[in-house]
Amino acid sequence: MSGTGALRAAITGLIGLAATEEEILLAGAPGAGPGSPQCWSAPPLVAHNTEFRQQQVVRLHAVARGETPPAFTEIDHRSPGTYGRYSAAAAT
């Protein structure tokens, strides 16, 4: 696979990963209300998706430089701490 083909494959994979992650989160997010770790409200969901997209940009830059993209920590979407972090980020 050429350098361009590898980059395209990486981008396609990352776009698919982002779409899947968003669908999983949206399936559990309420339309309104305060939300909770079990059922996220929209502001923390948007904060999470923004962070996730920023991670994909970092990965794409690494691929473009010919480097192995970094791994990011898995997120426990049911954790009160995780929900609290994204809720606080959404409020700022």
78: domain range?
A: 3-91
pLDDT, position 70: 95
Nearest Cα neighbor of 82 from 36, 50, 29, 21 is 36
Mean predicted confidence (pLDDT) in 5-22: 83
Contact 60, 14 (CB under 8 A): yes
How far is residue 49's CA from residue 53's CA, in Å, rounded to a whole number?
6
H or E element at residue 48? helix 42-64
Domain total in the chain: 1
pTM, whole model, 2 decimals?
A: 0.63
Least confident range of 14-18, 23-27, 30-34: 30-34
pLDDT, position 82: 92
Tell me the per-residue pLDDT of 27-49, one tens digit each, with 9 for 90 and over: 665 555 678 898 888 788 888 88
**Looking at this protein, which amino acid is placed at residue 84?**
G
Confidence of residue 68 (pLDDT cuts 50, 70, 90): very high
β-partners of residue 39 are: 36
